[in-house]
Amino acid sequence: EKGGFPHYMLKEIYEQPWVLENTLGGRLREEEGDVDLGLALDPREVERVHMVACGTAAYAGLYGKYLLEALARVPVEWDVASEYRYRDPVVDGKTLAIAISQSGETIDTLEGIREAKGKGARTLGVVNAKGSSLTREVDEVLYIHAGPEIGVASTKAYLAMLAAMALLAVRFGRARGTLSREAAQGLLREMRKLPRLVEEVLEQRPLVAHIAEKYHQAQDFLFLGRHVQTPTAYEGALKLKEISYIHAEAYPAGEMKHGPIALIDEHLPVVVLATRGPLYEKTLSNIQEVRARGGKVIAIATQGDEEIAKLAQDVLYVPEVHPLLAPIVSVVPLQLLAYEVAVLLGRDVDQPRNLAKSVTVE
Ligand code: M6R
pLDDT in tens, 230-289: 999 999 999 999 999 999 999 999 999 999 999 999 999 999 999 999 999 999 999 999
For a pocket test of ligand 1, which of 12, 13, 56 has the largest count of ligand atoms closer than 8 A to its C-beta?
Answer: 56
The CA 221 to ligand 1 mean position distance, Å, reads 21
Q: How far apart are CA 164 and CA 351, in angstroms?
A: 27
* 287 vs 331: CA distance, rounded Å: 19
Atom of ligand 1 nearest to the CA of 155: 16
Q: Ligand 1, residues 331, 359, 361: which to mutate, most atoms within 8 A of Cβ? A: 359
Nearest to 321 by CA among 206, 201, 209: 201
CB of 283 shorter than 6 A to ligand 1? no
Surface-to-core class of residue 283, CB atoms within 10 Å of its CB (0-12 exposed, 13-18 middle, 19+ buried): buried
CA–CA separation, 49 and 24 (whole Å): 22
Q: Is any atom of ligand 1 closer than 6 Å to the C-beta of 311?
A: no
28: three-class secondary structure by DSSP: strand
Is the CB of 98 inside a 6 Å radius of any atom of ligand 1?
no
Nearest CA to ligand 1 atom 11: 55
Q: What is the pLDDT of residue 362?
A: 87
Q: Is the CB of 161 under 6 A from ligand 1?
A: no
The tens digit of pLDDT for each residue in 4-45 reads 999 999 999 999 999 999 999 899 999 999 999 999 999 999
56 pocket-lining for ligand 1 (C-beta < 6 Å):
yes
Among 239, 270, 264, which residue's Cα sits nearest to residue 342? 239
What is the rounded average pLDDT for all residues in the chain? 97
**b vs e for 139-156, b when ≥16 Cβ sit within 10 Å of the residue's Cβ?**
bebbbbbbeebebbbbbb
Q: What is the pLDDT of residue 358?
A: 85
Closest protein CA for atom 8 of ligand 1: 55
Distance 97 CA to ligand 1 centre (A): 18
Q: Give, in order, the Cα–Cα distances in Å from 175 to each of 241, 264, 303.
A: 40, 46, 34
For 90-125, b/e burial (b = at least 16 CB within 10 A) is ebeeebbbbbbbbbbbbbbbbbbbebbbeeebbbbb
**The dihedral of CA 166, 169, 174, 175: what is its sign?**
positive
Q: Coil, strand, or helix at residue 43?
A: helix
Distance 284 CA to ligand 1 centre (A): 32
pLDDT for 25 equals 84
Q: Please work out whether the CB of residue 82 comes within 6 Å of at least one atom of ligand 1.
A: no
Which residues does the annotation mark as catalytic? Answer: 357
Number of the ligand 1 atom closest to the C-alpha atom of 158:
10
pLDDT 10s digits, 84-139: 999 999 999 999 999 999 999 999 999 999 999 999 999 999 999 999 999 999 99
pLDDT in tens, 63-75: 999 999 999 999 9
Alpha-carbon gap, residue 232 to 159, rounded angstroms: 11
SS3 309: helix
The model's confidence at residue 313, banded by pLDDT at 50, 70 and 90, is: very high
pLDDT band (50, 70, 90) for residue 208 = very high
CA of 47 to the centre of ligand 1 (A): 28
Is the CB of 350 within 6 Å of ligand 1? no
Q: Report CA(63)–ligand 1 centroid distance (Å).
A: 16
Instruction: Give me the half-sphere count of Cα atoms (radius 13 Å) on the Cβ side of residue 200.
Output: 16
CA nearest neighbour of 191 among 216, 164, 211: 164
106 lines ligand 1 (CB under 6 A): yes
Interatomic CA distance for residues 175 and 41, integer angstroms:
11
Q: Rounded to the nearest whole angstrom, what is the distance from the C-alpha of residue 292 to the centroid of ligand 1?
A: 37
